[in-house]
């Protein structure tokens, strides 16, 4: 029996603990918070989108950084296995729009409780309010080896393997404050450039603030750098006091975020993507004919939500009090163009406090993708968001945490579990 030390009681750390314990190891898990899974608790707006029901091959395009590295991890502990794992622990699941998988209860706490019960059943020792300050690395002729850690209390804990699952630096109030990057750096690991991702974006137009709280469904966004299209997606977005957020915006941030560091980008919103410009013109013409004696500002009620109306009217350049029958064809076509291409200037990303995920992390070049073991330090493993891995929204980021946590857990210390990729795991 080996003694496995796990740093961090989030998604990756708890999953690693379960499988390291199933392997017959003595497992000690250290969490600096007063409770486990603080970030898990707030995932999916408190409902926890645990994974996605998509075909596993469709997971790779959803991963923004280093998808190939995840091949072994995803196939060793698949989305279907994650679902069975939680169902076996009594968490019934359901699939929603876009293949998003949630607990049927809509409570993230059920996921945390299930992991806690399983760790308890397997005899994992959980230490709360236990902040790990540093890793203890032994150096010998055979190279470096992880053999313990030191807590902030000064207490030294020795073990046969250490799994670092400390998360990133987004939503630091949940405990993810980047300690794992420091541990990795001290061991000689490269940590790639960090940035907030799946994060709202700021815009500079005067009308942004006035649209605060407005949610647009069934729109299509495009982001360009003036010349090239960088991103295009259909879905839902929301205006805030500083700019824009919502599913399509968050996903876009993970693709265009790096570009926004040194230049502004243009957000194009197609408010009526189901209609071609021609079809929309016919529709507008019908509305105008039905309202031909009214003022322009009062003739567009059926086209937009009320908050958007004054903005579009102003941007159209058509005087708001102009009678509809006086509007020229040229003005009408410009108005139609505006509805198909409502633009705003993106000036930057919001910070880590609002970011769903941290982009960048421990470089995966120095990690064995089949085991999550460091290539520089024996019996040192990394799992979850601390690694340079991130994906778009939809349950993919938690799948990264579960799969890498699983691999670290089954590979650290004594290895008894037999890998049966896709078909299941057995002891
Ligand atoms: C608001 C929000 C909603 C999200 N919703 C979803 C979703 O629905 N679906 C999805 O797939 N992803 C979602 N994510 C992303 C997902 O939560 C993360 O990808 C995932 O939690 C990463 O797991 P982890 O175990 O690597 O890190 P974490 O969950 O951050 O866990 C790391 C743990 O390590 C502990 N720790 C850190 N340093 C130390 C130390 N020195 N000593 C001891 N303990 C330490 C921390 O306290 C923390 O508990 C969401 C993220 C946010 C912020």
Rounded to 5°, the CA angle 30-34-37 comes to 70
Q: Provide the pLDDT for residue 302.
A: 87
Closest CA to ligand 1's atom 31:
10
Q: How far apart are CA 69 and CA 216, in angstroms?
A: 36
In 89-125, alpha helices (H): 108-121
Pick from 306, 331, 350: which residue ends a domain? 350
The answer to whether residue 123 sits within a structural domain is: yes
Report the residue among 30, 37, 39 best suited for mutation to probe ligand 1: largest number of ligand atoms under 8 A from its CB: 39
The answer to whether residue 374 sits within a structural domain is: yes
Ligand 1 centroid to residue 44 C-alpha, Å: 12
Q: Provide the pLDDT for residue 424.
A: 47
**Residue 166 CA, closest ligand 1 atom number:** 34
Enclosing domain of residue 53: 3-193+359-411
CB neighbours of 99 closer than 8 A, spacing ≥ 6? 52, 53, 54, 394, 395
Q: Provide the pLDDT for residue 417.
A: 54
**Residue 33 CA, closest ligand 1 atom number:** 47
Q: Provide the pLDDT for residue 353.
A: 96
72 and 109 share a domain?
yes
Q: What share of the chain is helix, strand, coil (3-state, %, to 5)?
A: 35, 25, 35
Ligand 1 centroid to residue 199 C-alpha, Å: 15
220 and 246 share a domain?
yes
Closest CA to ligand 1's atom 41:
132
158 and 188 share a domain?
yes
First CA to last CA distance, the chain: 15
Q: Provide the pLDDT for residue 10.
A: 98
Secondary structure class of 30 (helix, strand, coil): strand
Ligand 1 centroid to residue 213 C-alpha, Å: 27
Number of compact structural domains in the chain: 2
281 and 390 share a domain?
no
Q: How far apart are CA 43 and CA 171, in angstroms?
A: 11
Q: Which residues are near ligand 1 (CB < 6 Å)?
A: 7-13, 30-33, 38-40, 42-44, 48-49, 131-132, 165-167, 170-171, 174-176, 179, 356-357, 384-385, 395-398, 401
Q: How far apart are CA 146 and CA 372, in angstroms?
A: 14
Q: What is the CATH number of the domain that holds 335?
A: 1.10.8.50
253 and 295 share a domain?
yes
Cα distances (Å, whole numbers) of residue 375 to 140, 190, 364, 378, 380? 16, 12, 10, 7, 9
Q: In terms of DSSP bridges, do strands 377-378 and 156-158 run parallel, antiparallel, or are they unpaired? A: unpaired
Secondary structure class of 98 (helix, strand, coil): helix
Whether residue 217 contacts residue 305, with contact meaning beta carbons closer than 8 Å, is answered with no
pLDDT (tens digit, 9 = 90+) per residue, 359-404? 999 999 999 999 999 999 999 999 999 999 999 999 999 999 999 9
Count Cβ atoms within 10 A of the Cβ of residue 225 and give its class: 0-12 exposed, 13-18 middle, 19 or more buried: middle
Ligand 1 centroid to residue 212 C-alpha, Å: 29
138 and 80 share a domain?
yes
The answer to whether residue 179 sits within a structural domain is: yes
176 and 210 share a domain?
no
Ligand 1 centroid to residue 190 C-alpha, Å: 21
Q: How far apart are CA 199 and CA 374, in angstroms?
A: 30
Ligand 1 centroid to residue 174 C-alpha, Å: 7
The answer to whether residue 422 sits within a structural domain is: no
Q: Provide the pLDDT for residue 416.
A: 59
**Residue 131 CA, closest ligand 1 atom number:** 42
Q: Provide the pLDDT for residue 209.
A: 82
In total, the chain counts a number of residues equal to: 427
Ligand 1 centroid to residue 168 C-alpha, Å: 7
32 and 169 share a domain?
yes
pLDDT along the chain (427 residues), means of 10: 96 98 96 98 97 98 96 98 98 96 98 98 98 96 94 97 98 96 98 96 89 95 94 95 94 92 95 97 94 92 90 94 96 97 96 96 98 97 98 96 98 66 44
263 and 279 share a domain?
yes
Phi and psi at 317, nearest 5°, equal 80, 0
Whether residue 60 contacts residue 67, with contact meaning beta carbons closer than 8 Å, is answered with yes
Q: How far apart are CA 69 and CA 45, in angstroms?
A: 29
Report the residue among 167, 182, 360, 382 best suited for mutation to probe ligand 1: largest number of ligand atoms under 8 A from its CB: 167
Ligand 1 centroid to residue 39 C-alpha, Å: 5
The answer to whether residue 426 sits within a structural domain is: no
275 and 397 share a domain?
no
Q: How far is CA 71 from the centre of its chain?
A: 19
Pick from 302, 322, 350: which residue ends a domain? 350
pTM: 0.91
Which tokens belong to 113? Answer: 């409780």
């Amino acid at each position: 029996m080996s003694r496995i030390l796990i740093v961090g009681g989030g998604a990756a750390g708890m999953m690693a603990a379960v499988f390291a314990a199933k392997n017959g190891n003595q497992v000690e898990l250290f969490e600096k918070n007063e409770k486990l899974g603080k970030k898990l608790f707030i995932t999916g707006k408190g409902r926890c989108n645990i994974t996605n029901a998509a075909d596993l091959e469709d997971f790779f395009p959803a991963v923004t950084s280093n998808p190939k590295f995840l091949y072994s991890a995803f196939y060793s502990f698949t989305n279907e296995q994650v679902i069975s794992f939680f169902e076996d622990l009594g968490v019934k699941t359901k699939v929603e729009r876009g293949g998003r998988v949630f607990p049927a209860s809509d409570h993230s706490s059920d996921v945390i409780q299930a992991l806690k019960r399983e760790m308890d059943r397997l005899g994992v020792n959980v230490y709360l309010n236990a902040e790990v300050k540093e890793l203890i690395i032994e150096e010998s002729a055979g190279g470096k080896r992880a053999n313990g850690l030191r807590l902030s209390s000064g207490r030294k804990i020795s073990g046969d393997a250490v799994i670092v699952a400390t998360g990133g630096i987004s939503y630091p109030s949940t405990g993810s404050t980047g300690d794992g990057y420091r541990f990795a750096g001290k061991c000689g690991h490269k940590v790639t450039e960090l940035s907030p991702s799946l994060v709202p974006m700021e815009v500079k137009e005067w009308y942004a603030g006035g649209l605060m709280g407005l949610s647009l469904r069934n729109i299509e966004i495009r982001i360009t750098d003036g010349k090239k299209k960088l991103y295009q997606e259909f879905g839902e977005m929301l205006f805030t006091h500083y700019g824009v957020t919502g599913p399509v915006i968050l996903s876009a941030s993970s693709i265009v975020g790096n570009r926004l560091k040194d230049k502004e980008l243009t957000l194009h919103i197609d408010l009526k993507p189901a209609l071609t410009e021609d079809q929309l013109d016919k529709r507008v013409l019908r509305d105008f004919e039905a309202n031909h004696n009214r003022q322009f500002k009062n003739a567009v009620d059926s086209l937009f939500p009320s908050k958007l109306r004054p903005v579009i009217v102003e941007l159209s350049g058509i005087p708001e009090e102009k009678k509809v029958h006086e509007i020229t064809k040229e003005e009408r076509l410009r108005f139609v163009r505006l509805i198909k291409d409502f633009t705003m200037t993106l000036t930057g990303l919001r910070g880590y406090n609002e970011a769903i995920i941290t982009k960048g992390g421990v470089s995966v070049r120095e990690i064995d993708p089949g085991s999550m073991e460091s290539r520089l330090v024996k019996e040192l493993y990394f799992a979850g968001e601390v690694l340079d891995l991130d994906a778009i929204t939809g349950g993919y980021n938690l799948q990264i945490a579960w799969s890498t946590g699983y691999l670290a857990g089954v590979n650290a210390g004594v290895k008894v579990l037999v890998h049966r990729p896709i078909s299941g795991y057995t002891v």
